[in-house]
């Protein structure tokens, strides 16, 4: 197979550097900490790591507010530390993906400091500036994703600047060719250093609509901030309508041309849009687009066979020719075990749900992202109000509790601070997480960690699982299942997402169970018995399809 295509069907492990491992003993994770745990990551059986931003930053949005695209924040270590990390990862056969936040900078970036200094300076047009309305109010009704107006007034220029997130994350003006060139050069800098690719933050937000037209009024009942309950006034906000501007495609082609100069590198774009799958098609089909993209579809999904089947069908209908990247969790959403388990059942059901969720995810057609801690089945951490630091959560408390609960430190041991650090960490280590520590789970062959590891190693050697086509199965409402079919192999995957045993008869051609570790599925005379939250992987005669 073509090794430049390594990313097709790969499993990408997302590392949130503040919370992975603290090697320097200041309560915050760092790059040497990551390097010290790369053996663990490689043993998991993943193909790549994606590291959330580690660039110099005032950390108002914990690194998604960059002041220097070519450096390492001293909090995370030195530039040399990054080179060591890269070398060690490559030595272990792991690809390294870094997170490029090209759409906006920190307001402390020297570009913005210059841009805001006057209306006539070399960078005056590098950000999105607009005059107030005659009555002094913002240029239009656009809203920030993190609450409030998307515009902040700057008294020196007597103009507003645009920000889709925090007011300290001013939006770059991609209509200005100098901005695009500078950002491509920044990407080239890391490619020259040897990184294997980029996760592109808000890859559909680069350009803004030059007309600056008001967004249409919200229809009644139309909610545009799905994570925020309707009772909160911010749930009624509408963000930039049609945020994905057509000019974006041109930039993505330029970026792809750059990537093509470095064979074997890849891009995975984050797409947040009213019509995400159409956008995925537009952004990933063709040689001059991104390699792959992910949407938020599974973040909002309910834990039911019907809902998940709908999502896959929907994907196949709208975007079946695209190569997707799926994720159940990341550093922005509630951990999947908590989304999919009722709180009072967490203790008992959490590990079962975690296992079936992970093997389900890793059986999908596409590439997969696992977020640190997902391999442990961590539930959302309970972070008391006093310890909250996410500005998004603080703005909307208590309806929306923000993103801190999915960003707490990794529990490596059950000891104090979970073996993550030697002092009070930046976010507390959840007590329940310490019971689910890496140390404990390694000692238990049936743990979420051991099963995840076992499954990922098995998956690697099954061509159908890595890049076979996916044919949705037609099971009873409660069961979810599909066939993965490659040139020389077919595997049927069936999942019981309910808390009751289910039976189903398998189609002709179904042979025996080919992956079992961690599950109690039972197959006899073509009749499959799946106890609660169990999965089965069954060999199917390729000729019978």
What are the residues binding ligand TEU (CB under 6 A)? Answer: 61, 64, 101, 145, 165, 201-202, 227, 272, 331-332
Neighbouring residues of 188: CB distance < 8 A, sequence distance ≥ 6: 258
SS3 letters for 469-519? EEEECCCCCCEEEEEEEECCEEEEEEEECCCCCEEEECCCCEEEEEECCCC
DSSP code of 235? Answer: G
Q: Looking at beta carbons only, is 296 or 495 nearer to ligand TEU?
A: 296
Strand pairing class (197-200; 95-100): parallel
Q: Is the distance from CB of 403 to CB of 332 less than 8 angstroms?
A: yes
Distance between CA atoms of 256 and 447, rounded to whole angstroms?
A: 41
214 is catalytic: no
Chain residue at closest Cβ approach to ligand TEU: 64
Cα maximum dimension of the chain: 79
Least distance in Å: CB of 407 to ligand TEU? 9
261 is catalytic: yes
- Number of Cβ within 10 Å of residue 391's Cβ equals 19
Neighbouring residues of 372: CB distance < 8 A, sequence distance ≥ 6: 13, 14, 15, 16, 19, 20, 410
Least distance in Å: CB of 61 to ligand TEU? 5
Residue among 47, 65, 201, 375 flagged as catalytic: 201
Q: Is the distance from CB of 293 to CB of 203 less than 8 angstroms?
A: yes
Residue among 2, 120, 261, 321 flagged as catalytic: 261
* 320 phi/psi in degrees, rounded to 5: -55, -25
Signed CA dihedral, 74, 77, 80, 82: sign only: negative
CA-nearest of 394, 355, 304 to 60 is 394
Least distance in Å: CB of 525 to ligand TEU? 48
Distance between CA atoms of 158 and 181, rounded to whole angstroms?
A: 28
Residue 370 token pair = 């696992």
Least distance in Å: CB of 216 to ligand TEU? 20
- Number of Cβ within 10 Å of residue 525's Cβ equals 6
Q: Looking at beta carbons only, is 330 or 462 nearer to ligand TEU?
A: 330
Residue 447 token pair = 């743990």
Residue 122 token pair = 């070399």
Q: Looking at beta carbons only, is 101 or 328 nearer to ligand TEU?
A: 101
SS3 letters for 36-91? HCHHHHHHHCCCEEEECCCCCCCCCCCCCCCCCCCCCCHHHCCHHHHHHHHHHHHH
Least distance in Å: CB of 115 to ligand TEU? 19
Least distance in Å: CB of 299 to ligand TEU? 8
* 154 phi/psi in degrees, rounded to 5: -115, 115
Distance between CA atoms of 16 and 99, rounded to whole angstroms?
A: 10
E-state strands within 79-235: 95-100, 129-130, 151-154, 159-162, 197-200
- Number of Cβ within 10 Å of residue 215's Cβ equals 19
Burial of 82 (0-12, 13-18, 19+ CB in 10 A): buried
Q: Looking at beta carbons only, is 30 or 99 nearer to ligand TEU?
A: 99
* 354 phi/psi in degrees, rounded to 5: -60, -45
Give the helix ranges, DSSP H, for 362-502. 391-396, 431-435, 438-442, 448-460, 463-467
Q: Is the distance from CB of 66 to CB of 109 less than 8 angstroms?
A: yes
The catalytic residue positions are: 201, 261
């Amino acid at each position: 197979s073509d090794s430049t295509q390594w990313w097709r069907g790969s499993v990408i492990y997302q590392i949130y550097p503040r919370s992975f491992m603290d090697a320097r003993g200041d309560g915050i994770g760092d790059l040497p900490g990551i390097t010290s745990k790369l053996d663990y990551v490689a043993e998991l059986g993943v193909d790549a790591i994606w590291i959330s931003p580690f660039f110099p930053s005032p950390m108002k949005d914990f690194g998604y507010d960059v002041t220097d695209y070519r450096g390492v924040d001293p909090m995370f270590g030195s530039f040399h530390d990054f080179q060591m990390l890269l070398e060690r990862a490559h030595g272990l056969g792991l690809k390294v993906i870094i997170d490029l936040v090209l759409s906006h900078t920190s307001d402390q970036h020297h570009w913005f400091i210059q841009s805001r200094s006057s209306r006539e300076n070399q960078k005056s047009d590098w950000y999105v500036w607009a005059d107030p309305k005659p009555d002094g109010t913002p240029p239009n009704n656009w809203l920030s994703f993190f609450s409030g107006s998307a515009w902040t007034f700057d008294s020196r220029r007597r103009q507003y600047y645009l920000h889709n997130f925090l007011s300290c994350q001013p939006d770059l003006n991609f209509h200005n060719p100098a901005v695009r060139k500078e950002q491509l050069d920044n990407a080239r800098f890391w490619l020259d250093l040897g990184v294997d690719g980029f996760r592109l933050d808000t890859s559909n937000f680069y350009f803004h609509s030059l007309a600056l037209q008001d967004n249409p009024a919200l229809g009644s009942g139309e909610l545009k901030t799905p994570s925020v309950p309707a009772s909160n006034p911010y749930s009624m906000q509408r963000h930039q309508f049609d945020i994905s501007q057509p000019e974006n495609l041109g930039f993505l082609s330029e970026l792809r041309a750059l990537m093509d100069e470095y064979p074997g590198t890849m891009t995975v774009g984050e797409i947040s849009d009213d019509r995400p799958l159409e956008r995925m098609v537009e952004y990933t089909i063709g040689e001059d687009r991104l390699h792959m993209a992910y949407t938020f579809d599974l973040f909002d999904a309910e834990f039911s066979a019907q809902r998940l089947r709908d999502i896959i069908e929907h994907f196949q209908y709208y975007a079946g020719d695209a190569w997707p990247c799926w994720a159940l969790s990341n550093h922005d959403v509630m951990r999947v075990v908590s989304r999919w388990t009722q709180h009072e059942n967490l203790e008992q059901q959490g590990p079962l749900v975690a296992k079936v969720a992970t093997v389900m995810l890793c059986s999908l057609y596409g590439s997969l992202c696992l977020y640190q801690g997902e391999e442990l089945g961590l539930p959302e951490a309970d972070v008391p109000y006093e310890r909250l630091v996410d500005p998004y959560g603080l703005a909307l408390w208590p309806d929306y509790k923000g993103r801190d609960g999915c960003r707490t430190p990794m529990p490596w041991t059950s000891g104090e601070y979970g073996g993550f650090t030697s002092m009070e960490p930046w976010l507390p280590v959840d007590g329940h997480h310490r019971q689910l520590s890496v140390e404990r789970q390694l000692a238990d062959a049936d743990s979420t960690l051991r099963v995840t590891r076992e499954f990922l190693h098995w998956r690697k050697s099954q061509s159908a699982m890595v890049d076979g086509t996916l044919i949705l199965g037609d099971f009873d409402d409660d069961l979810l299942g599909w066939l993965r079919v490659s040139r020389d192999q077919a595997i049927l995957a069936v999942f019981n997402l309910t808390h009751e045993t289910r039976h189903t008869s398998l189609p002709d051609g179904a042979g025996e169970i080919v992956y079992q570790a961690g599950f109690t599925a039972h197959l006899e005379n073509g009749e499959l018995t799946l106890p609660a939250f169990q999965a089965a992987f069954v060999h199917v005669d390729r000729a019978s399809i």
